[in-house]
Amino acid sequence: MENRNILDTVDSDLAERLLSRRAALGSTLTATFALASVPLGLAALARRAFAQGPLPAQIINVLNFALTLEYLESEFYETGVATSGLIPVGEADVFDQIRKHESAHVAFLLSVLGASAVSKPTFDFTAGNGSGTGPYADVFSNYETFKAVSQAFEDTGVRAYKGQAANLMSNDAILRAALQIHSVEARHASEVRRLRGLDGWITQAFNNIPGADAVYADEDAVRQFGISVPGITPVPRDEITEAFDEPLSMGKVLAIVAPFIVGSNP
């Protein structure tokens, strides 16, 4: 497959490749998989995802979107953890645990997508779109910058998965797995925020990361599904905004990460 990324539209030959993938899986598609709360192996998860037949284009598109974000996070933490002197010893375990999860998410999504998976883009973690001299130029030499970018990635990831959940409702196994990743990203976000001296939760649309306002846009909502929440609870407004995390559309997420992806056209 040629090098392409999620910012391209879904290929016209996607359906064809999906059909051939289904043929390759053969008789395993006829197996039924009982719902279970125990962790499944990668192969079993992938098989269960396909148990309802070939994945529709909408799900492929969402999973490739997720894969792109996980590629981004995974390479970010692999680089950060491997950079000597960047992460203080006392906080190294935190970032190694996050690195481990993001790497596992990439592997999981690759196993589900198979031949339909997009390739890993080339990243510029300075947000310089390939120049290497973006606003976060010292991301791997200044721990404060590294943590700030980490927080932005994690809080964006939470919003990205949340925004796509409804598009996965046709496949229970994939929806469940996406939700299981979503809450892991939220745990990461909480921990990194706390490392930076913030609360684990988002107050209003506040952030202290230069250039990251889009990551927190609309997090100050107090009207939920037609209900004005301050009118139905004595809890103060700040805590109301903390109590609900807001979704982001695929387009807004891609615009946020575009400066980190070399060759992208937001």
Q: In the complex, which residues of this chain contact other proteins (CB under 8 A)?
A: 35, 37, 39-40, 42, 45, 90-91, 93-94, 96-98, 100-105, 107-108, 158, 161-162, 165-166, 169, 172, 175-177, 179-191, 194-195, 199-201, 224-227, 229, 232-236, 239-240, 242-247
| Closer residue to other proteins, CB minimum distance, 46 or 127 | 46
Q: Report the candidate in 113, 36, 105, 46 with the shortest Cα–Cα distance to residue 74.
A: 105
Q: Which CB sits closer to other proteins, 183 or 208?
A: 183
Minimum distance of other proteins from residue 247's CB (angstroms): 7
Report the nearest approach of other proteins to the CB of residue 8 (Å): 26
Contact 206, 196 (CB under 8 A): no
- Least distance between other proteins and beta carbon 55 (Å): 16
Question: Residue 26 or residue 89: which is nearer to other proteins going by CB?
Answer: 89
Closest contact distance (angstroms) between CB of 131 and other proteins is 32
Looking at beta carbons only, is 115 or 166 nearer to other proteins? 166
Residues 6+ apart with CB under 8 A from 39: none
211 Cβ contact partners less than 8 Å away, ≥ 6 residues apart: 127, 135
Per-residue HEC secondary structure of 182-215 comes to HHHHHHHHHHHHHHCCCCCCCCCCCCCCCCCHHH
| Longest Cα separation, the chain | 58
- Amino acid residing at 254: L
